[in-house]
Amino acid sequence: MNLSISQLHQLMKNKFTLAGLTDEHADIVADVLAFADARGVHSHGAVRVEYYSERISKGGINTAPHFSYEETGPCSAVFDGDNGAGHVIAKLGMEKAIDMAKAKGVAVVGMKRMSHSGALGYFTKQAAEQGLVAISVCQSDPMVVPYGGSEVYYGTNPIAFAAPGPDGKAINFDMATTVQAWGKVLDARSRNKEIPESWAVDGDGNSTTDPHAVRALVPIAGPKGYGLMMMVDILSGVMLGLPFGRNVSSMYENLSEGRELGQLHIVINPEFFTTKEYFIDAIAQTMQDISGIRPAPGFDKVMYPGQRSDAKAESAKENGVEIVDEIYQYLISEHIYINSYDHKSAFNG
């Protein structure tokens, strides 16, 4: 089913308000999900609506959170989200970080006691639109075998980075520290498609192309991805006094409890290190240089990070977004959720 971005946004928002979110919070969550679907990142779009709606309805996402924000140093702060909607907390936390970085050059804002916040590139883009550089990292539940291991310990623990360029353009990448994000496996399940054998392993530790057989994901580039996911867990979990490693809460185990997750935004104002003009010109030159590189066989063009996603988003404004029919039927149905996730294994959810 093809929907305009605004139609998709409204359908998702309707579910979240029915589940119990305020109009303001439902609008933000739907905006983050629509951002992902418009860019072709369907793993973090409408495929997540039923899960969020079930957790909201069962109390695992606080619909009336008491937010608190404390500046803990000249350039640092902690935002306690009271287990509200993670998308809302991450967006508000980035707004605080942007204000601090504009005034002080650097901002490090930790957000704690929050739920899943979706595509991190949404939040780094907030900063890039204000002429700032941003890094965002967050925890996720244990789904990954560490390099050389046979049992899950860390999550997919993503990292996003953005830097502003000319004419509203930006370099913006958002990556899991696994070969592929878990949401990509969910998307493959919803589309009844196989996955590449490099993404995940089954219960015996063997590579699998069946998304329903996945029992663990694997780190990107072996020990390098393993090191990155450990770094993310320390920055967004340990440093905020939250559960870490295999103690990070499951996405599906109990949807009536808050997830107590952590996320960290690092925002830098380039004007405290060089001139704004030089920085923007250098990013523009980087984009131009990369676009001018001779493509390898099988490729039409070399793109800078975020360029392909931005092109898809521009196309979506005109041509709409393709949504799996089953998900569309759920979005237009009277059901808030269909008990698809609670008390299930992460890999069966």
Residue 86: is its pLDDT beyond 80? Answer: yes
Residue 213: is its pLDDT beyond 70? Answer: yes
Find out whether 197 and 219 touch, Cβ atoms under 8 Å: no
Give the pLDDT score at 191.
85
pLDDT above 90 covers what percent of the chain?
Answer: 88
49-85, pLDDT tens digit by residue? 999 999 999 999 999 999 999 999 999 999 999 999 9
Give the pLDDT score at 183.
75
Determine, yes or no, domain membership for 304.
Answer: no
Give the pLDDT score at 49.
97
Give the pLDDT score at 225.
96
Residue 339: is its pLDDT beyond 80? Answer: no
Distance CA 45, CA 31 (A): 10
215-228, pLDDT tens digit by residue? 999 999 999 999 99
Q: Which residues form the catalytic set?
A: 116
Determine, yes or no, domain membership for 289.
Answer: no
pTM for the predicted model, two decimal places: 0.93
Domain count, the chain: 1
Question: What is the mean predicted confidence (pLDDT) over 285-291?
Answer: 97
Give the pLDDT score at 217.
93
Closest CA relative to residue 158, chosen from 90, 212, 62: 90
202 — pLDDT class (breaks 50, 70, 90): confident
Give the pLDDT score at 68.
98
Determine, yes or no, domain membership for 268.
Answer: yes
Distance CA 16, CA 50 (A): 9
Distance CA 142, CA 144 (A): 6
Q: Residue 6, Cβ neighbours under 10 Å: how many?
A: 11
Distance CA 42, CA 46 (A): 7
Determine, yes or no, domain membership for 246.
Answer: yes
Residue 237: is its pLDDT beyond 90? Answer: yes
Residue 348: is its pLDDT beyond 70? Answer: no
Residue 319: is its pLDDT beyond 80? Answer: yes
Question: What backbone torsions phi and psi does residue 162 show, to the nearest 5 degrees?
Answer: -140, 145
11-57, pLDDT tens digit by residue? 999 999 999 999 999 999 999 999 999 999 998 999 999 999 999 99
Residue 176's CATH number: 3.30.1370.60
Q: Which range marks the domain in which residue 137 is found?
A: 2-274+311-332
Return the bridge partners of 79, or none. 69, 111
Determine, yes or no, domain membership for 31.
Answer: yes
Give the pLDDT score at 255.
95
Determine, yes or no, domain membership for 97.
Answer: yes
Find out whether 232 and 244 touch, Cβ atoms under 8 Å: no
Instruction: Retrieve residue 178's tokens.
Output: 């696994």
Distance CA 218, CA 39 (A): 25
Distance CA 193, CA 39 (A): 20
Determine, yes or no, domain membership for 25.
Answer: yes
Give the distance between the most distant pair of CA atoms in the chain: 55
Give the pLDDT score at 111.
98
Distance CA 214, CA 10 (A): 33
Give the pLDDT score at 182.
77
Residue 265 parent element (H or E): strand 261-268
Closest CA relative to residue 107, chosen from 267, 263, 228: 267
DSSP 65-120: ---EEEEEETTEEEEEEEEE-HHHHHHHHHHHHHHHHHHHSEEEEEEEEE-----T
| Amino acid residing at 64 | A
Residue 331: is its pLDDT beyond 80? Answer: yes
Determine, yes or no, domain membership for 292.
Answer: no
Residue 240: is its pLDDT beyond 80? Answer: yes
Distance CA 345, CA 99 (A): 40
Give the pLDDT score at 180.
85
Residue 346: is its pLDDT beyond 90? Answer: no
The residue assigned the tokens 């069962």 is: 58
Find out whether 103 and 97 touch, Cβ atoms under 8 Å: no
- For residue 210, give every residue at least 6 positions away whose Cβ sits within 8 Å of its Cβ, in sequence order, or none: 194, 195, 202
111-149, pLDDT tens digit by residue? 999 999 999 999 999 999 999 999 999 999 999 999 988
Give the pLDDT score at 342.
76
